[in-house]
Structure 1
Amino acid sequence: MRELRLKNNMTLDKLSKKINISVDTLMHVEEDKLNNPYYWRLICNYFGINHINYLKLYNMKEKCSKEKLLKLKAYMGAKSWKSVSISLGYSKDYISEILRKNKIPDTVYAVIQQKLSEIKRETF
């Protein structure tokens, strides 16, 4: 993310004000100390770049339930699991339970797969 900011001749201070996040938060994102797709999407959107393509999120693994949900969260650029759960039509507690157990029921798996496919169609 740092390279993107520098390529556009932006200081930390200026970009943080433009996207309404603190300089500390922006620094943590650039240093990979804050791994939240919400900030990736926010920064990329400011520069008119798709965060999925720029960060090559399509290469993220999705072999287990947790990885599939993490990929969906990254694709959505979601700040919290609540956003993901609302998008899927399930409660945050239910999604948290799936993450904890690392097992997705077939019906939920189908919904997640459909959501990922929709986002891919919109992006690529």
Structure 2
Amino acid sequence: MSDAPVLRRFRDVVAAGGYIGAGDPDAVAAFGEHGAMAAQSATTGPLGGSVDGAIAFKEALLPRWFWRCGHGSQEPGWAHLNRVHPDHCDRLDEANGKASTPAKALVLAVLNAALAMAEAGQCA
């Protein structure tokens, strides 16, 4: 898992509508080659990103975490993650994301969870 400043930078880039490039050396160092490629797939493309790419990114960083994402009239993209059953969560066991697409929202939720754990000194 990467350190908090790097995670925060990528989170802020995606939240501002940007993308994570698979060729970015910081992305490869932070997420591994597979994770960086999945992040690029999830944050770029004609439809604003691939949900399959976002799921692959989640699995690269937070395997076995539960997830859901979608879109609605109030939020163009939303996502929610849980490490364990939703009834048994504390602050570090769940994370949310809101973005222009469900794929970017899931990437944001993953980055928010990873950032919270990095700041608390924990790992996935």
Q: Does the TM-score normalized on the shorter chain lie above 0.5? A: no
- Which is higher, the Rg of structure 1 or of structure 2? 1
Higher RCO (Cα < 8 Å, 6 or more apart): 2
Q: Which has the higher strand share?
A: 2
Q: Where is the helix percentage greater, Structure 1 or Structure 2?
A: 1
TM-score, with structure 1 as normaliser: 0.29
TM-score normalised by the chain length of structure 2: 0.29
